[in-house]
Amino acid sequence: MRKELDKKLDGILSSLDIEIETNSINYKNLRRQFIQLYTLRFDWIKTLINETGKVDEDDFRREVEEKLGLGLFPDLQSILPPPIIENYNIPEPREPYLVSSNSVEVKYNSVGSTTIPPNSLLSTPISKGLELFIGEKEDIREKTEDEIRNSVKFIIECFGDIPIGDVTKEKSNIIKSHIKKYPKNRTKLPRYRDEDFHSLMEMKIPQKDIIHLTTINKHLGNLSSFMIWCVNNGYCNTNPFTGMKMKQKKSVRDERDRFTEQEIKDMFSKHNYLHLTKVEKDSYSKYWVPIIGVFTGMRCGEICSLYLDNIKEITENKRTKRWCIDIVEETNRPDKRLKTQSSRRIIPIHDTLLDLGFINFITLLKKDTKRKRVFEELEYREGTYSRSIGRFWNRRYLPLLGIKTNKNGFHSFRHSVIDTLKQLGVEPHFINELVGHSQGNIDLDRYGKRYNPDILYNKCVKRIVYQTSHTRNIDFLSLKIDWKKIIG
């Protein structure tokens, strides 16, 4: 039946001399509404045959207008009852009167309910509301913006660019059911990328190809945040996505594994590491980024976006100077973004990094007066410099060593640092300061300065030691390189 309707739609467009790209969203929305319209038509034919009494032409047109909202029958505006807005938070008037708000005329009836004409805020299209929503977010990350757009796009793909006020609880449940069946990497996998959204939803997608529960909840959370903003700004009356997140059986800490000491030993063995990271002139990130990660717990994006002047010697007690990494968001460097306010911190550099020649490496780079960043070979893509490193580590290096699982990756270095310190009995507030977590305590988060580097080094950093036994430390110094021969 769908093929027959496609031919009919093509015939109608051809007769009107209308050319349209069949892969465009506009065509797909038109096709979906055309199919719905014909489905309604056939339903009415069945109703007439069964003599159910549903024979009024206005009833049919009204049902089309209510279900599709295409505006095909403007004469029905005088017949259809105006929408009722509940809980408008305006005191009930004693007598009917008119009030002008945002250039929209609002009428109150004798019982205090209000009616809004069709051209009100409630009729604002989803796409326009999304642009306004994004526009109010200051300093939004490119990646975060893409995630929000992809989430709200589910509404448009399901129902078209409908008015915000038309998003009901019924529609939100349909959207949720589609999200739960949505394939991961849709645009990359050939068997999914060429399918339009509705065809995709008709496919039986295997569970292994469906997006993770965490991603499903992220989409529902983004949709809920968008609709809350719409409620607060008068574009709709309720948030139909409230309470729709799905319960996750596993705790957050179970979502990622730390690396074991044996895995760390294998990853940083001289034979594996120096051979597969292939240190060459102007290609240093594959060597340094993982080593920095395993001794600092820094996020991959934080390491990859470092500038040369973020590596500095800091004096806190007027006697001792200590080399540190200054993790800071800088307004003159929009490519450097911190995940949270707690991410702003200063990390004392571990002795192993110093012994491997990290400061000498930085000094040699600074001889090039035009150089600004530590790892300039990394391209800025999708709001981060870490894309290629993450792919190399997670898709190539770990699989080659037989270490990769669906619960580990570069981020597991962070878990390794935290768990190593935790098992040594290091107090949580020192660990939180090192990795950039909130202290969860208003006195520690709001009042007082951060720990000076000497305290953080002695209480925390110098205790990051990896051992395969109680008497044998993992040898990282076998990875030492003469940087002067490479950089010159």
Average pLDDT of the residues in 148-155: 94
Relative to beta strand 114-115, strand 84-85 is antiparallel
Separation CA 169–CA 412 (nearest Å):
39
12 has a pLDDT exceeding 90: no
Q: What pLDDT, on the 0 to 100 scale, is given for residue 31? A: 74
Counting DSSP H helices and E strands in the chain, the numbers are 22, 9
Question: For residue 216, what are its two tokens?
Answer: 């499903």
61 has a pLDDT exceeding 80: no
Q: What pLDDT, on the 0 to 100 scale, is given for residue 337? A: 79
CA neighbours closer than 13 Å in the CB half-sphere of residue 51: 0
Q: What pLDDT, on the 0 to 100 scale, is given for residue 30? A: 74
Residue 114's pLDDT band (cuts 50, 70, 90):
very low
Residue 11's pLDDT band (cuts 50, 70, 90):
confident
For residue 352, the one-letter residue type is T
Q: What pLDDT, on the 0 to 100 scale, is given for residue 49? A: 53
Domains of the chain (ranges plus CATH)? 1-80 (no CATH), 82-119 (no CATH), 123-249 (1.10.150), 261-487 (1.10.443)
Bridge partners of 325, per DSSP, are: 311, 347
- Per-residue pLDDT tens digits for 439-458: 655 445 444 457 888 899 99
Q: What pLDDT, on the 0 to 100 scale, is given for residue 98? A: 37
Q: For residue 234, give the nearest of 347, 373, 90, 108 by alpha carbon.
A: 90
The kind and range of the H/E element at 214 are helix 213-232
Separation CA 50–CA 60 (nearest Å):
16
Residues in the chain: 488
- Per-residue pLDDT tens digits for 372-388: 999 999 999 878 899 99
Separation CA 76–CA 320 (nearest Å):
82
Residues 6 or more apart in contact with residue 78 via CB below 8 angstroms: none
- Per-residue pLDDT tens digits for 250-303: 554 446 789 999 999 999 999 999 998 888 888 999 999 999 999 999 999 999
Residue 219's pLDDT band (cuts 50, 70, 90):
very high
Separation CA 133–CA 129 (nearest Å):
6
Average pLDDT of the residues in 320-324: 88
Q: What pLDDT, on the 0 to 100 scale, is given for residue 402? A: 94
Average pLDDT of the residues in 405-413: 91
Q: What pLDDT, on the 0 to 100 scale, is given for residue 468? A: 86
Q: What pLDDT, on the 0 to 100 scale, is given for residue 438? A: 75
Least confident among 5-19, 71-85, 274-288: 71-85
Q: What pLDDT, on the 0 to 100 scale, is given for residue 42? A: 61
pLDDT averaged over the chain?
Answer: 80
213-232 and 142-159 helices cross at what angle (nearest 10)?
80
24 has a pLDDT exceeding 90: no
Residue 100's pLDDT band (cuts 50, 70, 90):
very low
Q: What pLDDT, on the 0 to 100 scale, is given for residue 410? A: 94
Least confident among 38-42, 147-151, 172-176, 386-390: 38-42
Taken in order 192, 194, 200, 204, is the CA torsion positive or negative? Answer: negative
The kind and range of the H/E element at 435 are helix 428-435
Separation CA 435–CA 420 (nearest Å):
13
Least confident among 327-336, 395-404, 415-424, 459-468: 327-336
